[in-house]
Chains A and B, each alone.
Chain A
């Protein structure tokens, strides 16, 4: 039983925050990475698109989790920042006359992805500025303004019209290149998504155990107390908005590889709402919660689809009448989680983990 953490005691904060606290955790993480690498060989290709949709939601929700779960700043306009990232990336790939060397080395897309993160981060800071003066419901209104000003107004009316294509951009095949690899198949999109999720989760986890992360949590718990302790709350709130926007920008830029197509319709307010629902289901204030919530939402829709499609052959009324179950499922899940498990799926995971960690003396 030596690999179980039961009976291990930490004497220093450094040990408490270490990445690899026990050999068991180390093995668990290596296994997780192995599963991620082998995933395309273990499942039918259909599941790859499900996997990278989950990754897209994780990347997008990471910023929502940071703002709501760790910094206490409620946001209802996150799809706007994802849209800024997607449009920045797509437009840079399409319209910038990149030097041949950059194109040959496949650097245009990675550069555009970083630029997308920075642009979305800056845009998020702009709409985070009111957080210096307002909070709670009033902050919700300002973040909602981000959605309405960005997507239906700026992107739809002005940005989308650049290039004369209409109201959307379609990227020619082969234009999204990462080094020597052209991202042109579900497997490649999946690997890119998995790499980004791992990387950004590490970044986020590291940030949370730093001075910045502690300041965010202090602001969330009690902003007046945090200020009394010397935390510059306006600065740290804006840093939170920048980082959340940066993650959203990366998410938007990533999803360009899945579609080779960007349209304002992909960033409607529904998605801003849904991503808040994702962290409510997964667990507010938990990195695991972001991942579990994203998996739950995508997989619930998938399993409903898997049940409903075969049944419509025998019971055609299924397709028209019971289809509304699918639409209600998400709302119902949020309500049920708020009522019966307000700490979300991550709390259940934590309980389960503790049960095994403390086994056989779990009392």
Chain B
């Protein structure tokens, strides 16, 4: 067995490490393809590798190729810590593409001490205050802004306009609102304070929170718990599998409420999993959905077929597109830093903070990502949230909301939560 399997593996790994003698830019990527968030993590992991392949095929970082160190940490924080330290000390990466809120916030004190730029898939508002976490960056509109935007969009577009709520509205009662999320998950709990604040601002009545696990296969008791409050609207803070379970149970038990969902629970998989129960469900999204007609989507599709031909097109999702936005953002920051001869932590940090209305590929509207701006005092990438709705089994844009324009007096006070 030693001769047949282990020896060839060791030789191959040695070959792989020595094959990269040319000048390269090393980046690390922590992914979850086997853990609690693997329902959305697998597509992201595929997308990262495809996006990096595209960058390397089109000139890399100022002609330097990217060497990607990608690893699954199974959503286990101790493994995220040791893998990050491998990236830092052994692979000597210049920046890290991170994953969940739990590990990003757990690593935050360390990466800020190490001056390691960390662009995560967690859009937690807690990571957006440069006074506390200068080296943390998020590439999508933060969860808190998304949550505020989603509840506002529902209030303005559905509660105020839909015949479903006409009677309730005319009776003069307030909309009733509950939150369903995994209390223990930093990701799911991150925007709760913000969305409740927004609900109060809009005059909602707030019911008891319901604790639904990220890996829930049944949420009937939570739905029944919420039903006692007779909610009109339910916020879902988990990822797709768990959210679809709750929505199906709500449909089965006749909850009667509308649903709004955070971005990691809203995708084409949700449409497939919920079928008629998902009709009218509203959710936030960081960029365009896979296959939508936006600039550069053709490149995304081309590279999914080129790099991972074995993965069926039907199962590809918005997570692939998000991966491209993430990689493009990291690449553009590294290009700026490299041109200044500062391809290091502080150099990349400064480069990010020069972003003003940034779009992928310098093309407004590319991949459906609203423009991104980072400043030295505010790392929230955007005040614009894209709120979508499922209609006739298709995801369509419900409203594009600029929360800064809408709440100019409050916008700065929302920083960091």
Contact = CB atoms under 8 A, between A and B. Distances in A.
A215 B137 CA distance: 56
Interface stretch (B160-168, B182-190, B360-368, B380-388): B182-190
Contact of B82 (A49, A307, A320): A49
A311 B13 contact: yes
Nearest to B109: A260
Interface string B51-85: 00000000000000001111110101111011101
B191 to A, nearest CB: 10
B192 interface: yes
Contact of A263 (B17, B46, B184): B184
Given A44-B90, A265-B185, A266-B77, A166 B82 contact: no
Contacts of A357: none
Contacts of A157: 183, 211
Query: DSSP class of A's interface residues: helix, strand, loop or mixed?
Result: helix
A49 to B, nearest CB: 4
Contacts of A302: 82
A50 B307 CA distance: 33
B105 interface: yes
A309 interface: yes
A45 B105 contact: no
Given A50-B82, A313-B20, A319-B45, A326 B211 contact: no
Given A263-B102, A264-B184, A313-B67, A327 B49 contact: no
B42 interface: yes
Contact of A323 (B72, B82, B83, B186): B72
Given A156-B211, A167-B184, A173-B113, A310 B72 contact: no
Interface string A304-328: 0111111111101101100110110
A317 B211 CA distance: 36
Interface in A47-67: 48-50, 53, 56
A194 to B, nearest CB: 17
B105 A313 contact: no
A261 interface: yes
Interface string B336-379: 00000000000000000000000000000000000000000000
Interface in A133-159: 151-152, 156-157
Contacts of B19: 313-314
Nearest to B112: A173
B108 A167 contact: no
Interface in A280-339: 298, 301-302, 305-314, 316-317, 319-320, 323-324, 326-327
B16 interface: yes
Interface string B1-45: 000000001101101110110000000000101100000001001
Contact of B70 (A44, A171, A319): A319
A259 interface: yes
Given A45-B89, A152-B211, A166-B192, A312 B70 contact: yes
A243 to B, nearest CB: 24
A258 interface: yes
A311 B89 CA distance: 19
A184 interface: yes
A56 B78 contact: yes
Given A170-B105, A186-B85, A263-B102, A309 B193 contact: no
Given A167-B186, A168-B105, A265-B185, A310 B17 contact: yes
B299 interface: no
A308 B105 CA distance: 26
Contacts of A203: none
A324 B34 contact: yes
Contact of B189 (A152, A167, A317): A167
B30 to A, nearest CB: 11
Contacts of B20: 313
Q: Which residue, of B78, B81, B109, has the highest number of chain A Cβ atoms within 10 A? A: B78
B86 interface: yes
A178 B213 CA distance: 37
Given A156-B211, A310-B16, A261 B106 contact: yes
Nearest to A265: B102
Nearest to A48: B85
A42 interface: no
Given A46-B90, A170-B109, A314 B16 contact: yes
A140 to B, nearest CB: 22
A309 B85 CA distance: 14
A46 B307 contact: no
Q: Which 4 A-B pairs have the closest CB atoms?
A: A264-B184, A46-B89, A49-B85, A310-B16
26 contacts: A46-B82, A46-B86, A48-B85, A49-B82, A49-B85, A50-B82, A157-B211, A166-B126, A167-B186, A170-B105, A170-B109, A173-B109, A173-B113, A263-B102, A263-B105, A263-B106, A263-B186, A266-B77, A307-B13, A308-B71, A310-B13, A310-B16, A314-B16, A320-B42, A320-B308, A323-B34
Given A151-B184, A259-B106, A265-B185, 6 more contacts: A156-B211, A264-B184, A266-B78, A319-B33, A326-B74, A327-B34
Interface of B: 9-10, 12-13, 15-17, 19-20, 31, 33-34, 42, 45-46, 49, 67-72, 74, 76-79, 81-83, 85-86, 88-91, 102, 105-106, 108-110, 113, 126, 183-186, 189-190, 192-193, 211, 213, 307-308, 310
